[in-house]
Structure 1
Amino acid sequence: MPKRIRAGALLAVAATGLALGATLAAPAEAAPKPAPKFLSAAELPPHPSSPWTAGKVTDGVPDELRLCLSEALPGYDSRYRAFRTELDTSARQLTIVVDDTAKAKALQDRLNREIRTCGDRLERSDPELEAEYRGYGTLPVEEGARVHGLHTSASWGASDIRLLSVGRDGTAVTVVEWAQLGGFADAPVKAFKKTTVTAVAKLH
C-alpha cells in the first residue's frame, strides 16, 4: 500500500475513533438529573372518612410551612404540593434542590432545628398560645429523615396537631407536613413515618 494511502487510512480511523468517543461521552456529561417526584394523594396517611385530594406542584413555599420555617428558607428555589380532605385535615410537601450535598445537609439540619424550636417561638410571639413538641426519631431512608410532632392550643379553645418530617437524598431536601384539629392522640405517627419514607425515596 502506498504511504499516502496508508497515512490517509490511519487518519480516517483516528477521526472515527475520536468521533465515536465524543458520541459515547456526551450522554453521560449532558444527562440532566431527574426532577424530584412528589407524593400522590394515595401515599398520605389514610383519612378515616374523607379521601385526600392532591393539588398541582407549584413554585414557592406554602403559607402553613412559613409558620415554623420562614427563617430557614430565603434564597432557595422550592416547589410544593398541597393536599386536602373535605374535613379538617390537610397536608403539604415542600422540596428544595441545592447545588451540592454539603449545602443540602446544612439545610436539612437547619430545618430540623427550626421545627424543634418552633413551639418556643410561637409561645413568645403569642402569650395566649401554648405549644408542646415531641420528637419521633429518625428513619433509615437515603441520607436520613427525622419526624417531629407539634401541638398548639389557644386560650380560646383552639387545638391543632401537626406532624412534620425532614428528609434528604443527595442534594434534594423535602419537608412533609400533616395537620388537623386535635392533639397528639389523634396523630397517625406510624402512617406518617411510612409517608415520609416514600417521600424521600421518590426524590431521585
Structure 2
Amino acid sequence: MRTFRTALLTAAAAGLALTALAPAPAAAAPAPAPVPPKFLSAGQLPASLTPWTAGPVRQGAPQEGSVCTAGIAPAAGTRHRDFRTELDTGARQTITVATTTARARKLAADLRTALETCLDRMKEQDPGLEGEAFHHGRIDVEEGAYLYSIDTSYPEVGSTDIGLYSVGRDGRAVTVVEWGQMGELDGAPLEGFRKTTRTAVAKLY
C-alpha cells in the first residue's frame, strides 16, 4: 500500500511539474476597432471659382446650420465636416453610423422626408419667403443616394439663395451632403454635386 501511495504522489508531482512547464495559453487579442467611414476631401467638392478649404472632422451633429435636417440624426455615432471657399459658398458633410442596418435605413428615410418638406416648413416660419424645391432623382451607388435642390428668395430685398442636398447610405452609414451659395438653381453646379454625392457614398467604406 505504501508503495502504491508513493507511486500516486510521484505521478501527481510529475503532472504538476509538467503543468508548470507548459506554456500558458496566449490571451485573446482584442478585437480591432471598426474603421470609421471616410469623409470627402476639399478637392472632391464641385468646382468653384476659388479653392475649397476643408475644416476638421468634428464629433456629434452640427450645432447650427443644416436647417432642413436639424435634429434628425442622433449625436451618438455622428460626425461632420464643414467646407468653405473665399466666396460666399459653403458645404457640409455629415455622417452617422447607426447601430443596425434597419436603423440606418430608417434614418435615411427620415432625412429624405425632412428635405422634401423643408421648403414648406421654412415658409410657415417666414411668410415672406418664396422658393421652389426639386427632387433630382436617385443616384445608383451602394444602397442609393437621392439629390435635392431648394431655391429661396426674399422679393422685398431681392436676395436669392440656392441649396443642393443629398442623402446616401452604405450599410449602417448614412451621409448628408449640403452645398449652398447666393444665386439660383441655373447657376448651381448640379452635375458636379451629383458627382460629389456619388463619391461621398462610395468613399464611406
Deviations 1:21-57 (A, max 9, x none): x86xx57xx133211111000000010x211011011
1:43-192 matched pairs, under 5 angstroms? 43-47=44-48, 49-62=49-62, 63-65=64-66, 67-74=67-74, 76-155=76-155, 156-192=157-193
Identity %: 49
Residue type at the aligned position of 1:139: I
Shift of 1:187: 1.4
Higher helix fraction (1 or 2) = 1
Deviation string for 1:48-75 (max 9, x for gaps)? x21101101112333221x111242355
Distance 1:157 1:61 in 2: 32
Instruction: Write out the 4+ residue segments of structure 1 that deviate beyond 3 Å after TM superposition.
Output: 74-77
1:31 aligns with 2:27: no
Letter in 2 for 1:61: A
**Structure 2 unmatched ranges of 5 or more:** 1-10
Structural RMSD (CA): 2.1
* Cα separation, 2, equivalents of 1:131 and 1:79: 30
| Separation in 1, partners of 2:76, 2:110 | 13
Contact 1:38 1:203 in 2 (8 A): yes
Query: Which amino acid in 2 is paired with 1:185?
Result: D
Cα distance in 2 for partners of 1:171, 1:122 equals: 30
**Runs of 5+ consecutive residues of structure 1 not aligned to the other structure:** none
CA distance in 1, matches of 2:177, 2:87: 19
Residues 122 and 131 in structure 1, CA contact (< 8 A), matched pair in contact too: no
Is the CA contact (8 Å cut-off) linking 1:90 and 1:179 kept in structure 2? yes
| Letter in structure 2 aligned against 1:64 | G
1:191: how far off?
A: 0.7
Larger of the two Rg values belongs to structure:
2
TM-score (norm 1): 0.83
Where 2:65 maps in the other structure, the secondary structure is helix
Instruction: Tell me by how many angstroms 1:189 deviates.
Output: 1.0
How many residues are treated as equivalent by the alignment? Answer: 185
